[in-house]
Amino acid sequence: MENRTRFGVSALLISVLVLSIAFASGATFAKSDDSAILEAVTVDKRSVGFADTLAYFDTVTVNPAVFKKDAEDGYVNIKIIGQDLDIELNKRPSVSEGAKIIVEDEKGIQIMDAPEICTYEGKVVGKEDSSVKFTVDDVIIIGKIVIDEKTYFIEETNNVYNGKYIHVVYDKDAIKQSSLADSAEPAGCGTCDLETVVNSPLTAESMQIATMSTLSLATIDLQTGYDTEFQTTYPSPETRIDRLIDDVNDIYDPADAQFNINGFKYLSNTPSGNISDILDYSKDNLDSERERTDSDLVIMFTGKECTGNWIGLSQTYNGSSDAAYSAVQMVAAGTNSRYQANPDDRAILTAHELGHNFGARHDEAFKWNTTDNKTYYTVMWTPYMSTMMFYPDYMQLEFSYNGTGGHGNDTCNNIGNHIMVTKDTLQGFRTG
């Protein structure tokens, strides 16, 4: 294990949606018939947990039923800071469609269907450099809108107003530079099986054989776990995990590898300590669930701020289904860390740790400089830098790749050298 701070180891178009959003103070998200999807509420913003890191944001409650009904209808209009935009959305299957929730209590083990989660994605009409994604269940709406270099988020909180969860609406530029110390350090994590990587490299022969199937889509099934602190931070935990894995799938898309969630399990007694303790605990408590749900990999999401240097930990691919576990921290690593657990941070960290399960390595990550005097890094870079543009070092939502549209070379090629090579093996890890 490394002894210094390190970062460890499709769709059917069914509707067009037009929404009305004003991201200035007092924003509302309304239909033409005045039936609100997002409704502005006045609350003490210090109570919702974002005031320390955001210079400005709106607080709203949401009506998911209205959202889903509108999504069936067709179109309306979006207003974002004076811009009048149309948005096209595709509704597609959720990554957790058919998943089970496993509950273990004094009555024994109960298995129930996961709640319906709806996923919508698309773009702003007339804006080629744009993307939109919403994740919706019965109580929350999670959203991300990207237009050119501007990113807007809609996120849930655990605060309630008139029986509904309060959400915050903000743009990424609202993140306070002053909220982080000038000396904020890159975040760290580790990998359990570093010697395995050194002693059991992928051979040229195995890579040549695997290359024959690199163009086929591999679907890797996940058994997921989460703890009390995660559930407290994200009051609809299955939906938050669904959205996170969907975002991770975007990162893995160039490798023709995708994740599907087979199961969720709540673990109430995860240990306090470092991420290694949580990984060990999840291995002991989720292994049987992995078999029960016929899953390939196990990933544990913690809402704890872990002690020590690490925000994530995973086992490194060695060809065995025993090396199939990872754990990730889903809250900020303190104000003196560049890992602030915004939606992009969480997706990159999760993709990184799952990447080690494929054999992806730190030393094959790629960085490049641009004319704006910034340095950009791919997902497997260690240590974790930042997704906030006021830093000169900026993590990207992509793996190194020496292919069309990618950033990398023959050596720095996590997709070509590892993920494409091992994905079929991982797809066969399932125990059923």
Q: What does the H/E/C string look like for 174-204?
A: HECCCCCCCCCECEEEEECCHHHHHHCCCCH
Q: Return the amino acid letter for 65.
A: A
Mean pLDDT over 342-369 rounds to 96
Domains of the chain plus CATH, in order, are 12-95+117-174 (no CATH), 188-427 (3.40.390.10)
Q: Indicate the range of 56-70, 134-148, 206-220 predicted with least confidence.
A: 206-220
CA 330 to chain centre: 9
Q: What's the Cα-to-Cα distance from 169 to each of 63, 71, 75, rounded to whole Å?
A: 15, 20, 22
Q: Does the structure show a pLDDT above 60 at 105?
A: yes
Query: Is the CA virtual torsion 253, 254, 256, 259 positive or negative?
Result: negative
Pairing of strands 78-80, 141-147: unpaired
* Share above pLDDT 70 across residues of the chain, in percent, rounded to a whole number: 79
Q: Indicate the range of 6-20, 45-59, 185-199, 231-245 predicted with least confidence.
A: 6-20
Residue corresponding to tokens 């919706």: 136
| Distant-in-sequence, close-in-space partners of 356: CB < 8 Å, separation ≥ 6 | 8, 9, 191, 314, 315, 316, 317, 326
140-167 as b/e, with b when 16 or more CB fall inside 10 Å?
bbbbbbbbeeebbbbbbbebebeebbbb
pLDDT score at 155 = 95
Mean pLDDT over 373-386 rounds to 91
Q: Does the structure show a pLDDT above 60 at 79?
A: no
71 contacts 180 by C-beta, under 8 angstroms = no
299 contacts 222 by C-beta, under 8 angstroms = yes
pLDDT score at 356 = 96
10 Å Cβ neighbour count for 224? 28
The Cα 409–Cα 360 span in angstroms is 15
The Cα 367–Cα 377 span in angstroms is 4
The Cα 194–Cα 158 span in angstroms is 38
